[in-house]
Structure 1
Amino acid sequence: MTVIDFTAFIGRLATSSGETILPMFRTSLAIDNKSTPGHEFDPVTEADRAAEAVMRRMIKETFPQHGIVGEEFGSENQDAEYVWVLDPIDGTKSFIAGFPIWGTLIALLHRGTPVYGMMHQPFIGERFSGDSQSATYRGPSGARNLAVRRCALLQDATTYTTSPLLMNDADRAAYGRIESQVRLSRYGGDCYSYCMLAAGNLDLVIETELKPYDVAALIPIVTGAGGVITTWDGQPAQHGGRIIAAGDPRIHEAAMKILNG
């Protein structure tokens, strides 16, 4: 079975999760904190849980032999040939604040490698998808192929991170060295930052402490658009951790040297 065989089903997953989430966006939802005392606030809502439950049910009904890894309900059969990696709302903090800078992440792994990814933002009506060979956008402005932009020098680059406050002291200092050299740095974005990189609107995304479900769907989108995404030490990104994505390999190399001292 090829990736093409799965694309229509992935579209249905995105539609169903969006229909589950949207009635709860910008409403007075109860918010639970998943983190332990003394750690960073990690919110979860009924929208997160309900959307993942819908997608899990559809996957189990259609592909019962497949594995699933999800943010809210853990892992099942994760050693299967095909594994779905789900983040029902990446950017829950923006979601609970009423900002539409969040998305549903759906990744398909084949023997451990992400072969297809989608970021769906149902409020805006945007879908970014990729299969490592190409990446596409569909939304209010139509449909088009995605392509990163070339940027040879850090001083010409625009960089994003969700927040330096999410980094430990050493990583924050390393990121600060990048920030002091680039033309523009901005905070926020979560999954949207990687999609904007794939769309050619920014040049560098640097994050830490990501989980597999935070990044797996974004890897085929970035690489399909011609970009590079690895860990800070140049390893494959699908296991999470400290992640760097770049539109131009020259920026990727220059930033890695600075991040690694």
Structure 2
Amino acid sequence: MFFCDFLGEETGRKLSGHSYCWVVDPHDGTADFLAGRIGSSVSVGLLHKGAPVLGVVYAPVTSRGPDCIAWQQGMRSLLRNGQSIALSATDRGLHGSIVFVSAAAESKRAENDVLCAPAVCEPMPSIAYRLARAAAGDGVAGVSLYGVSPHDVVAGHALLLAAGGNLFDQDGQPIRYTTPAEFSSPVTRCFGGERAACLTLLTRPWSTLVSPPRPELGTDV
């Protein structure tokens, strides 16, 4: 048996300082799922000394059917539903691409398209699945305009790193995990995907879309 630390959204935490820590969200996008929207996901990540080294994001109900995107350190490519994904070696940029945003953006789609231009937005639940789809090349970036916790993003972060991207905070700094329980600094927004696209997106006035209150437990980000 392999003993290590564990951090879960609903399943508690065991943080002893072990070099490995599983980070799990058993259902990312619960509120949207209960509202009948598709695209929620199971997110399983593994940190080694604070670095994401494994990510599995499984969305059981999507427009393309069940969708599982996975990677572990040492693999040369991502796996999508058991098949290797050929990854682009160059940044595509925002032009002609897609930025994955929260399902709440559906009610302000035009405003989100302006902020994502020259890309267009695609609203969907689950920040984990947004990041996974960006890593898989379906779009150029995934965005959350609300604070995120490690269980929301570690698995997606691992996938992005494998694809040559990264995950950035509201100041454009790559997100780090000083301990398995917290980020190195408060993260009020995150932008994950190709570096140039993310650094462009984070300069846009996203605050015009965000209501002041932080989402309650279970609210999608």
TM-score, normalised on structure 1? 0.61
The answer (yes or no) to whether the contact 2:113–2:120 under 8 Å persists in 1 is: no
Q: Is the 8 A contact 1:178 1:258 kept in 2?
A: no
- 1:143-177 deviations in Å (ceiling 9; x for gaps): 1225257323x443321211567xxxxxx9xx959
Relative to total residues, which structure has the larger helix share, 1 or 2?
1
SS in 2 for 1:257: coil
**C-alpha contact 2:116 2:201 (8 A) present in aligned 1:** no
3-state DSSP of counterpart to 2:129: helix
Is the 8 Å Cα contact of residues 70 and 213 (structure 1) preserved in structure 2?
yes
**How far does residue 180 in structure 1 lie from its aligned partner after superposition?**
5.8
CA 146–101 in structure 1, closer or farther in 2 if over 3 Å, else same: farther
Q: Does 1:81 align with 2:19?
A: yes
Distance 2:203 2:59 in 1: 34
Q: Rg: which structure is higher?
A: 1
Q: For structure 1, list consecutive stretches of 5 or more residues without a partner in the other structure.
A: 1-61, 166-171
Matched-pair contact (CA < 8 Å) for 1:229–1:243: yes
Q: Tell me which residue corresponds to 1:72.
A: 10
Give the CA deviation at 1:93: 2.2
Distance 1:237 1:214, change over 3 A: farther
Corresponding residue of 1:205: 142
Distance change in 2, residues 1:229/1:135 (3 Å): farther
Equivalent residues of 1:196, 1:202 under 8 A apart: yes
Q: 2:80 aligns with which of 121, 138, 162?
A: 138
Change (3 A) 1:252 1:99: closer
Range 143-152 or range 191-200, more displaced? 143-152
Shift of 1:132: 5.8
1:235 to 165, 169, 174: 174
Task: Tell me which residue corresponds to 1:181.
Answer: 117
Q: Which of 97, 107, 112 is the aligned partner of 2:35?
A: 97
Q: Encode CA deviations 1:13-40: one digit per residue, 9 max, x unaligned.
A: xxxxxxxxxxxxxxxxxxxxxxxxxxxx
Q: Unaligned regions of 5+ residues in structure 2, if any?
A: 178-182, 208-221
Corresponding residue number in structure 1 for 2:50: 112
TM-score, scaled relative to structure 2: 0.71
Amino acid at match of 1:66: C
Q: Which has the higher contact order (CA 8 A, sep 6+)?
A: 2
Q: How does 1:1-261 map to 2 (within 5 A)?
A: 62-63=1-2, 65-122=3-60, 124-131=65-72, 134-139=76-81, 143-145=83-85, 147=87, 150-152=91-93, 154-163=94-103, 179=115, 181-190=117-126, 191-207=128-144, 208-233=146-171, 234-236=173-175, 238=177, 239=183, 241-247=188-194, 249-258=195-204
